[in-house]
Each structure stands twice: as structure tokens, then as C-alpha cells.
């Protein structure tokens, strides 16, 4: 008997040794009936910052999770799919500038709108772009209404060659329907956000002075001086390759420095260097550091595209590739002016984001700089897609894909626009009667962003779904305090139950989550979003008390299992052990 006992002891020792050495990460834990195993969690190293993120990571700070108030919920007993969450390696720390938005000069002075100010404070997009869009090309930041520079012509040539009213905009305009430069700054300070400013490149093209490029660069540099370090990120121009943009085509009879009729990437690149030189000198005078972006196209131009587009990226890179601080792209994801269905909208989040990164990587190669997607949304029209819960689901997926593909910055278009029968990209309603909404009522996408950020960690990790046909997307992150966050998107028109498994993470006693899904016709486009069962009081939007909504919670004793309602987003955090 002693001999047998000794052999058994040796065997048991070998078994324990083997268990402990498995991947160097496991040990036996006899706390639960002698049968439970617990991973030895090894804190992975942070990877070096990707070149495509660069200085946009400078403002990163660690996040610690605080458990919310909750309502106890019973998880599903059985599951169909598994989501594997791998905390053994960090893909990237999450850039703090990925969740921005765009303001515009036709959405009120904002600082006079306390409801909007509070909601912007609650949302905290961090980055708010200004003046944004095509207006940037006719915007004179330091001028009063009706008082353009003397060398700004009374008519501009449009892309079709017709003389048109320029429609200049002025930063000194203080009427209630617009947003002045000074109130833009006040809004940022009040809401705790920061800016990215787009300077007027078009003026370098259509200006009638002896040196229009120098005049436009001087105007931009004066804005940098006035800004005095409040803004770190600057763009030169907005979609300057586009035939809809002021400066794309100029009246050469009025031009005095020999510029061609049409813009080109090579010309823009040469002008970029003049702007950047003047702006950097202005920043240096103030003892500040700024970063200045140059525009690129986000995809290969179609065979029928004009030569401006076909040669744009090559020309910009040749002239300004080494000089620029970051590259700017825009994308509206779905086909232009098309009545895309929900699945088409959602599919674009993954395919288009990756395609943008892959195209830029191929085009730029080893000269890669940080990438900023300074305008994005969807072009889908006809079924009120833009104001629906599907737009919110799409936004969540885009942010997840931007993290995975290591973009440095993004800003969604835009905070407020116009109803246009629901073809409205605005995150907030301006209260048009036809919409049935109150002024500054948040659209569904607002709530999807708020709850994503509420439960998002500070480091992106891998999450994979066991079946690629499950119509489930999973995005995961960790908190510096040790918890794991998982965002699950159920694109299917049916409830799907999943169980989470973990590598290099030991679940604690409890997990918490918020479920966001549409209202009537939730598998289609719904103007409502319900959060843990709470919905809007009106015809659209979400619950008024979103900031105090209790999370759902359950014990992890039987695993981390959760039911995903049809067309839903679940933001979930699992306690650490």
C-alpha cells in the first residue's frame, strides 16, 4: 500500500506540474469542489503606438471601471454561439480622439442653448470639428457679415464653369441661427471638448490678389495666432478635389499667379507646404505645437473618374507627403442617394473601414502618417435611415472597426443638420415641425454612442465569434482596472444567445450590460431606441433618463451568457476576479 500511495503521489505531482506548465498560464484552484481551474492572468505589454495613430494617442489616459447600479436579470440557460475574448495581447490602446463629431455654422450659437450644451457635455465626443464641410472653402473666420476681403471675388466659378454667388460665411456673425468663432470656443470650454479646425484653402485658388496662396496662408496663420494653443489639430481645406468645392475650378482671367483652371493633388500639395509653413511659424510665436493635416482620397477612383481624382493622392504625396503631420479622409460608407436596406448599411461598417485602411496603406506605404477620418456617416436615403436605430448600430460598428484598424481620429457628420424627410445626418433635431421632435432631441445614434463610451475600456483586444454566419459582430477592450468590456452587435432578425469565453482573464462574480434595440419594426428602420426596456416618450429618440438608467446584471457562476434581441447592440462589462 505504501508503494502504491507513493506512485499515486508521483502521478499526482506530474499532473499538477503539467497543468501548471500548460502555456505557462494555468494552475489548479481547489476552492470549488476541487474541480475548477483558474487562469494565471499575465498583464500583456502595451504595443508600440501604430504609425497610423501617432500623436493622436498623446491624450490617452487610463480608465477604471466603476460598477453601476443594476437590476438583476436571469441569463439564458442555453446558448447557440460562443464569443471568444482574448485578453492575452493588446491590439492597441484606444485613441481618445476616435469619437468626435462635426459642428457647423448653421446650427445656432450653441452657448445660448442649455439643453444642447448639457447633452454635448454628457456625450463628451472630445473632438468637435469646425467650421466643417464645404463652408470651410468660403469661410472668413475674422470677418463680419458682408465684409469679405477685397481680393475675394464677387462671383465664383462652379465645377460646371458657371459664375455663381460665392455665399461667403463669416466668423464674426453673431445672429442666433449661426455659430460664431468666439462661441465655438466657448462651447468647447463649456462642454469639456476640444476642436479640429478646417482652414479656407479655396481662397488660395479664387483669390484675385497678386499672391493668393500667401494671402490665404496668412489668413490661416492669423487664426492660429488667435487660437493661441487652444486647438492642436488643423486641416488645410475640405474635399478640395471635389468639383462641388469652391476653388476646384477658377476663373483664370482673374488669377494673378498663373494657377491652372482646375486644382490638382500636386498643386494642393505645393500650396499645403506654404500654408503649413505659415501656420507652424504662427504657433511657434505663441510657444505652441500644432498638427496639420493634408487631404487624401479614401479609395481608388473609378475608371470613369476625372483626372483630378485619379491623380490626387499621387500628387499630394509627391509634394506634401513628407511635410504633412497627418492624412485626412472622408467616407459616407453606403452608395450615394441609394435606398440601402439595414443589412447593406451595417455591412458597410466592416468592409469600407478596412478598405480605407488597406487602400491608404498601399498608396502611402512606408510614408504612412496618422489617419484622421474627419467626416463620416451614411448616404442611405428614402427610408429615414439616417435618423434610425440602424444608423446607431452602424456607428457602433464603425468605431469598433476604426479601433481594430488603428485609425488615429474620427469625427462623425454632424451635430445638427436639416430634417429633409428623415434624410438628416444630424445627431440632434433642430425641432422642425415635420420631424415631430422637440428642439435638440437626440436621435438614436446619440444613445448608441453614449452607452458605447460608458462601457468601453482603454485598450482594444481581440474578440471572435465561433460561427462566421452568426450575423454577430464582437468588439472587446480592457480597463486599466482589470475588467473586460465586450460590445456585441446582433445583425440578425431573431434573438441569439451567446456565451463568452476568455483567455488570460478570470471573470469575477458579476457582469453588467445595457441592451439597445429599436422600437416598432425593430428589424427595419426605427426612429426609436429602447435601452434596457426604457424608450422615448415621443415619436422618436430614446429615454429621457438615459444617464440614470440601471444596468442589467447577472452572476457569472453559470458562465457569462446573454440573449441578444433582434437587431440589437449590447454593451457589457465583466468584473475581474
Q: What is the pLDDT of residues 59-85, one digit of tens each?
A: 999 999 999 999 999 999 999 999 999
Q: Are 243 and 249 in contact (CB under 8 A)?
A: yes
Q: What is the pLDDT of residues 113-135, one digit of tens each?
A: 999 999 999 999 999 999 989 99
- Tell me what percent of the residues of the chain surpass a pLDDT of 90: 92
The pLDDT of residue 31 is 33
- 530 and 553 both lie in a single domain: yes
Residue 567 falls inside a structural domain: yes
Domain end residue (candidates: 276, 303, 324): 324
- 208 and 166 both lie in a single domain: yes
Q: What is the pLDDT of residues 101-111, one digit of tens each?
A: 999 999 999 99
For residue 21, pLDDT beyond 70: no
CA distances from 340 to 239, 288, 508, 518 (A): 24, 46, 42, 18
The pLDDT of residue 39 is 72
- 21 and 65 both lie in a single domain: no
- 204 and 257 both lie in a single domain: yes
Residue 63 falls inside a structural domain: yes
The pLDDT of residue 27 is 35
Residue 335 falls inside a structural domain: no
Q: Are 525 and 384 in contact (CB under 8 A)?
A: yes
Mean pLDDT of 45-57: 98
Rounded-to-integer distance, Cα 436 and Cα 440, Å: 12
212 confidence band (pLDDT: 50, 70, 90): very high
Residue 337 falls inside a structural domain: no
**CATH code of the domain in which 542 resides:** 2.60.40.1180
Q: Are 193 and 124 in contact (CB under 8 A)?
A: yes
Q: What is the pLDDT of residues 167-184, one digit of tens each?
A: 999 999 999 999 999 999
Q: In the chain, count H helices and then E strands.
A: 11, 26
- 28 and 81 both lie in a single domain: no
Domain end residue (candidates: 303, 324, 345): 324
Residue 369 falls inside a structural domain: no
For residue 272, pLDDT beyond 80: yes
For residue 218, pLDDT beyond 60: yes
What is the CA angle 409-411-416, rounded to 5?
170
- 22 and 162 both lie in a single domain: no
Q: Is 118 helix (H, G, I), strand (E, B) or coil?
A: helix
Cβ partners under 8 Å of residue 66, min gap 6: none
- 127 and 195 both lie in a single domain: yes
Q: Output Rg (C-alpha) for the chain, integer angstroms.
A: 26
- 130 and 103 both lie in a single domain: yes
Residue 553 falls inside a structural domain: yes
- 147 and 255 both lie in a single domain: yes
Q: Are 325 and 293 in contact (CB under 8 A)?
A: yes
Rounded-to-integer distance, Cα 541 and Cα 450, Å: 13
Residue 285 falls inside a structural domain: yes
362-397 as b/e: b if 16+ CB within 10 A: ebbeeebbbbbbbbbbbbbbebbbbbbbbbbbbbbb
Rounded-to-integer distance, Cα 418 and Cα 299, Å: 28
- For all residues of the chain together, what is the average pLDDT? 93
Instruction: Write a three-state SS string for 405-453.
Output: CCCCEEEECCCECCCHHHCCCCCECCCCHHHCCCCCCECHHHHHHHHHH
Q: What is the pLDDT of residues 413-450, one digit of tens each?
A: 999 999 999 999 999 999 999 999 999 999 999 999 99
The pLDDT of residue 38 is 60
Cβ partners under 8 Å of residue 198, min gap 6: 129, 130, 131, 132, 136, 234, 235, 236, 237, 238, 374
Give how many domains the chain has, as a whole number: 3
What is the CA angle 270-273-274, rounded to 5?
95
- 189 and 303 both lie in a single domain: yes
The pLDDT of residue 28 is 29
Q: Model-level pTM?
A: 0.93
Instruction: Write a three-state SS string for 237-295.
Output: CCCCCCCCCCCCECCCCCCCCCCCCECCHHHHHHHHHHHHHHHHHHHHHCCCCCEEEEE
Neighbours of 22 (CB within 10 A): 12
- 86 and 167 both lie in a single domain: no
Rounded-to-integer distance, Cα 64 and Cα 419, Å: 39
Structural domain for 272, as ranges = 95-324
10 confidence band (pLDDT: 50, 70, 90): very low
Residue 341 falls inside a structural domain: no
**CATH code of the domain in which 146 resides:** 3.20.20.80
Neighbours of 174 (CB within 10 A): 14
229 confidence band (pLDDT: 50, 70, 90): very high
- 26 and 172 both lie in a single domain: no
522 confidence band (pLDDT: 50, 70, 90): confident
The pLDDT of residue 278 is 98
Q: What is the pLDDT of residues 459-506, one digit of tens each?
A: 999 999 999 899 999 999 999 999 999 999 999 999 999 999 999 999
Domain end residue (candidates: 285, 301, 324): 324
Amino acid at each position: 500500500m505504501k508503494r502504491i500511495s507513493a506512485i499515486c503521489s508521483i502521478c499526482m505531482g506530474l499532473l499538477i506540474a503539467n497543468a501548471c506548465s500548460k502555456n505557462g498560464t494555468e494552475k489548479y484552484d481547489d476552492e470549488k469542489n476541487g474541480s475548477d481551474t483558474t487562469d494565471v492572468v499575465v498583464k500583456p505589454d502595451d504595443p508600440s503606438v501604430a504609425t497610423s495613430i501617432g500623436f493622436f494617442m498623446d491624450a490617452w489616459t487610463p480608465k477604471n471601471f466603476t460598477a453601476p447600479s443594476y437590476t438583476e436579470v436571469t441569463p439564458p440557460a442555453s446558448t447557440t454561439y460562443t464569443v471568444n475574448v482574448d485578453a492575452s495581447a493588446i491590439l492597441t490602446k484606444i485613441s481618445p480622439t476616435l469619437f468626435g463629431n462635426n459642428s457647423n455654422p448653421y446650427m445656432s450659437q450653441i452657448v445660448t442653448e442649455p439643453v444642447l450644451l448639457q447633452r454635448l457635455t454628457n456625450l463628451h465626443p472630445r473632438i468637435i470639428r469646425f467650421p466643417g464641410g464645404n463652408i470651410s472653402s468660403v469661410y472668413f473666420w475674422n470677418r463680419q457679415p458682408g465684409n469679405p476681403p477685397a481680393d475675394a471675388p464677387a462671383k465664383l466659378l462652379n465645377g460646371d464653369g458657371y459664375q455663381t454667388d460665392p455665399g461667403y460665411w463669416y466668423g464674426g456673425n453673431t445672429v442666433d441661427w449661426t455659430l460664431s468663432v468666439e462661441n465655438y470656443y466657448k462651447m468647447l470650454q463649456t462642454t469639456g471638448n476640444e476642436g479640429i479646425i478646417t482652414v479656407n484653402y479655396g481662397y488660395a485658388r479664387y483669390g484675385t490678389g497678386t499672391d493668393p496662396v500667401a494671402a490665404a496662408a496668412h489668413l490661416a496663420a492669423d487664426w492660429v495666432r488667435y487660437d493661441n494653443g487652444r486647438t492642436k489639430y488643423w486641416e488645410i481645406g475640405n474635399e478640395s478635389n471635389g468639383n462641388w468645392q469652391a476653388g476646384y475650378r477658377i476663373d483664370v482671367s482673374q488669377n494673378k499667379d498663373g494657377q491652372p483652371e482646375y486644382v490638382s493633388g500636386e498643386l494642393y500639395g505645393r500650396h499645403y507646404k506654404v500654408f503649413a509653413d505659415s501656420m507652424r511659424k504662427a504657433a511657434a510665436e505663441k510657444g505652441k505645437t500644432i498638427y496639420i493635416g493634408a487631404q487624401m482620397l479614401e479609395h481608388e477612383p473609378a475608371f470613369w473618374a476625372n483626372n483630378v481624382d485619379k491623380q490626387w493622392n499621387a500628387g499630394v504625396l509627391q509634394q506634401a507627403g513628407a511635410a504633412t503631420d497627418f492624412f485626412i479622409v472622408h467616407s459616407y460608407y453606403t452608395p450615394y442617394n441609394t435606398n440601402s436596406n439595414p443589412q447593406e448599411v451595417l455591412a458597410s461598417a466592416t468592409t469600407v473601414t478596412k478598405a480605407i485602411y488597406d487602400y491608404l496603406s498601399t498608396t502611402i506605404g512606408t510614408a504612412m502618417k496618422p489617419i484622421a477620418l474627419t467626416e463620416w456617416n451614411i448616404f442611405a436615403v428614402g427610408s429615414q435611415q439616417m435618423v434610425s436605430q440602424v444608423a446607431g448600430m452602424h456607428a457602433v460598428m464603425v468605431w469598433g472597426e476604426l479601433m481594430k484598424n488603428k485609425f488615429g481620429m474620427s469625427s462623425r457628420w454632424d451635430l445638427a443638420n436639416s430634417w429633409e424627410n428623415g434624410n438628416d445626418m444630424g445627431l440632434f433635431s433642430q425641432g422642425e415641425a415635420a420631424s415631430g421632435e422637440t428642439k435638440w432631441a437626440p436621435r438614436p445614434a446619440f444613445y448608441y454612442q453614449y452607452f458605447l463610451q460608458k462601457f468601453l475600456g482603454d485598450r482594444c483586444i481581440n474578440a471572435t465569434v465561433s460561427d462566421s454566419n452568426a450575423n454577430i459582430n464582437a468588439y472587446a477592450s480592457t480597463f486599466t482596472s482589470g475588467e473586460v468590456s465586450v460590445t456585441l452587435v446582433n445583425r440578425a432578425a431573431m434573438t441569439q444567445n451567446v456565451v463568452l469565453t476568455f483567455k488570460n482573464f478570470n471573470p469575477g462574480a458579476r457582469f453588467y450590460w445595457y441592451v439597445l434595440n429599436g422600437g416598432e419594426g425593430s428589424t427595419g428602420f426605427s426612429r426609436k431606441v429602447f435601452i434596457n426596456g426604457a424608450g422615448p416618450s415621443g415619436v422618436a429618440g430614446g429615454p429621457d433618463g438615459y444617464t440614470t438608467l440601471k444596468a442589467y446584471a447577472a452572476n457569472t457562476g453559470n458562465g457569462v451568457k446573454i440573449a441578444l434581441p433582434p437587431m440589437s447592440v449590447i454593451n457589457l462589462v465583466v468584473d475581474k476576479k
